[in-house]
Amino acid sequence: MSANRYRLETQTVHAGEPSPRIGGAATVPIFQSSVYELTEGAGYHDIVYPRLNNLPNHTVLARKLAALESGEDGLVTASGMAAITTSLLTVLGQGGHLLTQSSLYGGTHNFVTEDLKKFGLSYDFIDAHRPESWAAKLRPNTRAIYTEALTNPLIEVADHRAVVAFAREHKLVSLIDNTFATPVNFRPLELGYDLSLHSATKYLNGHADLAAGAVIGPAELVSKIRHSLNHLGGCLDPHSCYLLNRGLRTLVLRVRQQNSSARAIAHFLDKHPRVLKVNYPSLESHPQHELAQELFQGFGGVLSFDLEGGTEAARRMIDRVKLPLHGPSLGGTETLIIRPAVSSHAGMSREDRESLGIGDGLVRLSVGIEASEDLIEDLDQALQE
Ligand code: PLP
């Protein structure tokens, strides 16, 4: 570590904060104004205006996010989907073709399969675990390759080193949705990805009280995406920026607790006689157990499992748990439980879901920061006959 690069815990608190502090304040005040005095001669994108992503609330976050993932620049957006769609539309340009991992967050999957064609763009799914099969899917207009750090809800791990090498060889922009890993567990730009995207609604904010997204990457590419965002309008409002910056300050503490709790719960469930299969990379049965250990510092707070008795058993368990909230989303302080088939992946056809291995009875847990022992005791009582 170079002398000017602080450790992650320090950066979450100090990186990007204004110097000198605004009015001496320890936190950046909320710039609740949509009009600012004009400096003549400034270009359109430099006019201070909330939609142009240049309030102090935006810039502090852009700098902090860039520092956390070793990027040159960052950008905050109105949601994770705003980050994903704006980045994809920008890098694909006119008539571009995308190679993408087939197992994707439901919203991204729907955007790729339903919306890209409306903009004259095309895609092909790739098997993220078989790099030797990717070249056959290349077209002259292929411009980008897209993956997720850890997939939802099966927590699979793509061959990320191979993705980076393939992108370099074929001059593609490599994009990764790093929502599930967070910079605490994985910093994709250090591996060689071009762009890291986040639903900051999840771990980065961590308190289930806002929607936001993030883009991190080289300054030139982020600037192009910022220009598209300025036109498409997916800016983050200053109050949400303030909350996100507050949430980021405790990111490392929260995620480390979630890593260790999810691991303990995964190992507990794995030994439980009523549980058929648990999906979590720390388990030796996980198909990418070794790869995950090489790439990540931890595996995050999300795990999924199938129960003996299928959908009915899953429903009964969800009814019986006392601590986890029955709700979608993930990455907050409170534990959440859902069946992906009726929540995150409800927009997908049953056929598509099943081809990805997401059965109706699959249960997903997003582990919060409660005591692991309390969560395990609660899950145990909910699984009793
Ligand atoms: N990426 C992942 C992995 C997600 O889980 C989600 C939402 O659940 C998104 C992106 C979309 O984020 P948002 O809901 O903030 O638009």
pLDDT per residue as tens digits for the range 124-165 = 999 999 999 999 999 999 999 999 999 999 999 999 999 999
CB neighbourhood size of 128 (10 A) = 23
Which residues are within 8 A (CB) of 40 and not within 5 positions of it... i.e. 6 or more apart?
Answer: none
Ligand 1 closest atom vs CA 82: 16
Amino acid 1: pLDDT: 37
**Weakest-pLDDT range from 256-265, 311-320, 349-358:** 349-358
Q: Give distance in angstroms: CA of 381 to centre of ligand 1.
A: 31
Amino acid 99: pLDDT: 98
153 prior amide bond cis, ω within 30? yes
Query: Confidence class of residue 42 from pLDDT cuts 50, 70 and 90?
Result: confident
Structure-model confidence comparison of residues 351 and 36, the more confident one: 36
Ligand 1 closest atom vs CA 180: 3
Phi, psi of 124 (to 5 degrees): -135, 140
CB neighbourhood size of 32 (10 A) = 12
Does residue 101 contact residue 126 with C-beta atoms inside 8 Å? yes
Q: Has 123 been annotated as catalytic?
A: no
Q: Give distance in angstroms: CA of 157 to centre of ligand 1.
A: 17
The CA distance from 22 to 12, in Å, is 18
Per-residue pLDDT for 56 more than 90? Answer: yes
Q: What is the mean pLDDT of residues 73-94?
A: 98
Beta bridge partners of 196: 176, 216
The CA distance from 326 to 272, in Å, is 22
Q: DSSP 3-state helix, strand, coil percentages of the chain (rounded to 5)?
A: 45, 15, 45
Structure-model confidence comparison of residues 368 and 2, the more confident one: 368
The CA distance from 321 to 379, in Å, is 6
Q: Nearest C-alpha to atom 5 of ligand 1 is from which residue? A: 105
Does the pTM surpass 0.85? The reply is: yes
Structure-model confidence comparison of residues 356 and 248, the more confident one: 248
Amino acid 344: pLDDT: 79
Instruction: Output the average pLDDT for the chain.
Output: 96
The CA distance from 36 to 50, in Å, is 10
User: Look-up: residue for tokens 């719960």?
Assistant: 265
DSSP secondary structure letter of residue 97: E
Query: Confidence class of residue 355 from pLDDT cuts 50, 70 and 90?
Result: confident
Q: Is 46 exposed, middle or buried (0-12, 13-18, 19+ CB in 10 A)?
A: exposed
Which residues are within 8 A (CB) of 3 and not within 5 positions of it... i.e. 6 or more apart?
Answer: none
- Intra-chain end-to-end CA distance of the chain, in Å: 53
Per-residue pLDDT for 261 more than 60? Answer: yes
Q: Give distance in angstroms: CA of 315 to centre of ligand 1.
A: 24
131-136-138-140 Cα dihedral, nearest 10 degrees: 150
Nearest partner of 62 among 215, 249, 234, 252, judged by Cα: 215
Query: Confidence class of residue 2 from pLDDT cuts 50, 70 and 90?
Result: very low
Tokens, residue 139:
């077209």
Structure-model confidence comparison of residues 89 and 43, the more confident one: 89
Ligand 1 closest atom vs CA 213: 15
Query: Confidence class of residue 352 from pLDDT cuts 50, 70 and 90?
Result: confident
Per-residue pLDDT for 3 more than 50? Answer: no
The ligand 1 site (C-beta within 6 Å) comprises: 79-81, 105, 107, 148, 152, 177, 179-180, 199, 201, 211, 213, 329, 344
Structure-model confidence comparison of residues 255 and 40, the more confident one: 255
The CA distance from 209 to 240, in Å, is 9
Q: Has 203 been annotated as catalytic?
A: no
Amino acid 309: pLDDT: 95
Nearest partner of 168 among 145, 201, 150, judged by Cα: 145
Q: Nearest C-alpha to atom 6 of ligand 1 is from which residue? A: 199
Per-residue pLDDT of 186-240, as tens digits, reads 999 999 999 999 999 999 999 999 999 999 999 999 999 999 999 999 999 999 9
Q: Has 51 been annotated as catalytic?
A: yes
Q: Give distance in angstroms: CA of 80 to centre of ligand 1.
A: 5
Length of the chain: 385
Q: What is the mean pLDDT of residues 19-42?
A: 94
Judging by DSSP bridges, how do beta strands 97-101 and 122-126 pair with one another? parallel
Does residue 103 contact residue 154 with C-beta atoms inside 8 Å? yes
User: Look-up: residue for tokens 């620049």?
Assistant: 73
Q: What is the mean pLDDT of residues 108-125?
A: 97
Per-residue pLDDT for 334 more than 90? Answer: yes
Amino acid 219: pLDDT: 98
CB neighbourhood size of 44 (10 A) = 9
Q: Has 274 been annotated as catalytic?
A: no
Amino acid 312: pLDDT: 96
Beta bridge partners of 278: 305
Q: Give distance in angstroms: CA of 36 to centre of ligand 1.
A: 32
Write down the catalytic residue from 143, 187, 202, 263.
202
Which residues are within 8 A (CB) of 53 and not within 5 positions of it... i.e. 6 or more apart?
Answer: 62, 75, 76, 226, 229, 230, 235, 236
CA distances from 212 to 144, 176, 195, 203 (A): 24, 17, 17, 11
Q: What is the mean pLDDT of residues 247-270?
A: 98
